[in-house]
Amino acid sequence: MYRTHHCGALRSTHIDQTVTLSGWMATKRDFGGMTFIDLRDRYGITQLIFNMDTDRGLCEKARGLNREDVIKVTGKVRERSSKNPDRATGDVELVVTDLTILNRAKLPPFTIENDTDGGEDLRMKYRYLDIRRPVVQDQLRFRSKLTIEVRKYMDEQEFLEIETPVLIKSTPEGARDFVVPSRLNPGQFYALPQSPQTFKQILMVAGMDKYFQIVKCFRDEDLRADRQPEFTQIDCEMSFVNQEDILRTFEGLVVHLFEKMINVSLGEFPRMTYDEAMAKYGSDKPDLRFGMEINSFNDSAKGAGFSVFDSADLVAGIVLAGKADEYSNKNMKELTSWVQRPQIGAKGLVYVQWKNDDSIKSTIGKFYDDATLKTWIEAAGGQKGDILFILSGELDQTRKQIGELRLELGRRHDLIKPGDFKPLWVVDFPLLEWDEEMNRFHAMHHPFTAPSLNDIDKMASKDRSVLENIKADAYDLVINGSEIGGGSIRIFDRDLQSKNFELLGFTPEEAEAQFGFLMNAFEFGAPPHGGIAFGLDRLCAVMNGVSSIRDFIAFPKNNTGRDVMIDAPASIDDLQLKELNLNVVDLEKA
Ligand code: ASP
């Protein structure tokens, strides 16, 4: 027998019992006559004690152990003279009478402690050692519990968990597909699903009514910080529902998860239209943990002879409270360079400091008198002591830039309370998004999203601005500035779906070739339906107040898309290539 208890189990109720434990040797402390060992497994740490006087040979064997050796010990539980209140097993220790070395360990390349000396790359290469650290185990435990809570809630609501295939045909969801060559069908490829979108809709046509799946999705996107080429969604779909039904059902899920997982009650989620989110926060995923809403100064700023403002589509400002006296020229210069970084892309930063001595310091004092600038600050909800920051230019760009500046100032000035959660539904997304470069429309959500009932007629228009204004029954769940989920009511009518593909630039033949199966299904009694998908990894991260989703993935890829432990992707040998009808020589020539 390897163990009678695990390493987190022993309490004072076990005193005088003889028990057997197995685990990893975490730390060892040798004193004159005694050796103390911390034995670790997934459940906790137990202190072992070896005594020179009672058994010299055994104690010497213990002294010869290395960190991470796998051992089995038997002994008697006794009360500790100096208790450790920070440890669940801290009241007791095990006086060892028998020690078996089950396996030796090489010296680990970093310390296996919460506060490790190992850098990210090294830890990922030896992820099995990294995962032995209690913090990482806690994160994986959290994720496991979360998925189980999802299943409980969904089961109670009568959803069925149904698996959909991983080898499928390309589904456009805005990213590139990963493809898999088919050996049996030379020259043909499967695609890995960007999401099970079409399958879950087909399941609704099939009458399954309520579907969910905790499912891996694959997107071959250019890597950005905190993107993983494979990630997990809680994917859901329901029949005979409207947007309100979906929002209510899944608000229920999220409230349930926050309560069960972190004991936070979220209350009712506010709703905000996409237009309002863009205008007030410069983002479709506003972080509502602090204010600093964006104000337009178009009316007051234009026409004073300041050509930068006169020629701008938008003159937008945000007020930073109470910092007017604090910001030096150097601070302003630094912040100006920050907004000018290519990632933000603003041309310059205009500011108005209303100092506590009532004076105004501003970059635009030549064009506007102090009294006017004070009214601007007041109009934006500010007062004496505050700073107004202004960006201007093309509408969408300026909104995004000032939205980024808002977030940066929120971070710099600690405007975000730790442990605060601010969920909201963003609704009324546009159906279509114009792609300047490609000179065509993309689906803002995906091509299966239904236009709002009132806007269906607009789909017949040839006018770009009319088409751009079509709203969709699409919604996102945002928490603390992170997009946690998104979905839509779907088109369930063949003709409307064809029309949508046409607006997206598909010829009827292309639409038929790619999505004929779905449109055909729509002709056999498709119910009205809609759904949503949540990012499981991101939900874990947001609930724990951490920024990286990698922390909650057992084997994440690094920021160049590599698994550094197994060293993938990797080349394959010529024979394998040949079998797959992939001629590497030709590919290289091409
Ligand atoms: N398939 C969508 C996504 O992955 C979610 C949905 O519309 O249900 O974003």
pLDDT digits (tens, 9 = 90+) for 438-458: 999 999 999 999 999 999 999
Same domain, 430 and 526: yes
**392 lies in the same domain as 470:** no
pLDDT at 227: 84
Q: Domain with 553 in it: what CATH number?
A: 3.30.930.10
Per-residue pLDDT tens digits for 517-532: 999 999 999 999 999 9
pLDDT computed for residue 52 by the predictor: 93
Of 34, 73, 41, the C-alpha closest to 55 is 34
Q: Whose CA is nearest to atom 1 of ligand 1?
A: 197
pLDDT higher than 90, residue 223: no
CB distance 204 to ligand 1 below 6 Å: no
Question: What is the 488 CA–ligand 1 centroid distance (Å)?
Answer: 8
Tens of pLDDT along 145-161? 999 999 999 999 999 99
**What integer pLDDT is reported at residue 292 of this predicted model?**
97
Are both 232 and 170 inside the same structural domain? yes
Give the torsion through C-alpha atoms of 134, 140, 141, 143, to 10 deg.
Answer: 150
Average pLDDT for residues 163-172, to the nearest whole number? 88
The answer to whether residues 310 and 508 touch, using CB atoms and an 8 Å cutoff, is: no
Q: What is the pLDDT of residues 90-124, one digit of tens each?
A: 999 999 999 999 999 999 999 999 999 999 999 99
Substitution site in 201, 236, 446, 536 for ligand 1 pocket (most atoms within 8 Å of beta carbon): 446
Q: Are strands 92-103 and 44-51 parallel, antiparallel or unpaired?
A: parallel
Do residues 403 and 455 share a domain?
no
Cα–Cα distances (Å) from 52 to 49, 56, 66, 89, 467, in that order, read: 10, 4, 19, 24, 84
Q: Is 531 in the pocket of ligand 1 (CB under 6 A)?
A: yes
Angle 202-208-211 from CA coordinates, rounded to 5°: 85
* Within-domain flag for 241: yes
User: Is residue 487 in contact with ligand 1, taking CB distance under 6 Å?
Assistant: yes
The pTM score is: 0.94
Is 506 found in the same domain as 473?
A: yes
Listed range (72-86, 222-236, 291-305, 323-337) with the worst mean pLDDT:
222-236
> Is the pLDDT at 584 greater than 80, yes or no?
no
Mutate to test the pocket of ligand 1, among 214, 445, 448 (most ligand atoms within 8 A of CB): 445
Which residue out of 159, 233, 426 has the highest number of ligand 1 atoms within 8 Å of its CB and is therefore the one to mutate?
233
Q: Do 387 and 445 reside in the same domain of the chain?
A: no
Tell how far the Cα of 381 is from the centroid of ligand 1, in angstroms.
38
Kind and range of the H or E run holding 135? helix 134-156
Going by pLDDT thresholds of 50, 70 and 90, the confidence category of residue 586 is low
Classify 373 in phi/psi space as left (phi over 0), alpha (psi -120 to 50) or beta. Answer: alpha
Instruction: Indicate whether 574 belongs to any domain.
Output: no
Q: Residue 570: inside a domain, yes or no?
A: no
Q: List pLDDT tens digits, range 415-439.
A: 999 899 999 999 999 999 999 899 9
From the CB of 540, is ligand 1 less than 6 Å away?
A: no
Cβ–ligand 1 contact at 486 (below 6 Å): yes
Q: How far is the CA of 134 from the centre of ligand 1 (A)?
A: 34
Assess whether 519 and 429 both reside in one domain: yes
Pick the atom of ligand 1 nearest to 217's CA.
4
User: How many domains are there within the chain?
Assistant: 4
CATH number, position 61: 2.40.50.140
Instruction: Classify residue 119: in a domain, yes or no.
Output: no
pLDDT band of 583, cuts 50, 70, 90: confident
Give yes or no: residues 542 and 524 share one domain: no
In terms of Cβ atoms closer than 10 Å to its own Cβ (0-12, 13-18, 19+), residue 300 is: middle
**Mean pLDDT score, 18-31:** 97
**Is the C-beta atom of 195 inside 6 A of ligand 1?**
yes
Which of 392, 412, 432 marks a domain boundary?
412
pLDDT for position 588: 55
Atom of ligand 1 nearest to the CA of 233: 4
Provide the domain limits for residue 297: 290-412
Claim to verify: residue 96 and residue 57 sit in the same structural domain: yes
Residue of minimum CA distance from atom 4 in ligand 1: 195
Residue 209 in this model has a pLDDT that exceeds 80 = yes
Place of tokens 């950005």: 224
pLDDT at position 589, please?
58
pLDDT band at residue 512 using 50, 70 and 90 as cut-offs: very high
In a domain, 114, yes or no: no
Contact 482, 544 (CB under 8 A): no
Ligand 1, atom 3, residue with closest C-alpha: 533
Cβ of residue 213 lying under 6 Å from some atom of ligand 1 = no
Are both 375 and 430 inside the same structural domain? Answer: no
Residue 345 inside a domain? The answer is yes
* Ligand 1 pocket member 197 (CB < 6 A): yes
Atom of ligand 1 nearest to the CA of 532: 8
Q: Is 488 in the pocket of ligand 1 (CB under 6 A)?
A: yes
End residue of a domain, out of 532, 549, 579: 532
pLDDT for position 585:
58
First to last CA, the chain: 62
Question: Which CATH number belongs to the domain containing residue 347 in this structure?
Answer: 3.30.1360.30
* Domain assignment present for 375: yes
| pLDDT at 590 exceeding the cut of 70 | no
Pair (307, 364) in one structural domain: yes
Distance 581 CA to ligand 1 centre (A): 33
Whether 566 is covered by a domain: the verdict is: no
Dump the DSSP string for 190-204.
EE--S-SHHHHHHHH
Same domain, 171 and 199: yes
How high does pLDDT run on average in the chain?
Answer: 95
Query: Which one, of 446, 528, 522, 498, lies nearest residue 202 by Cα?
Result: 522
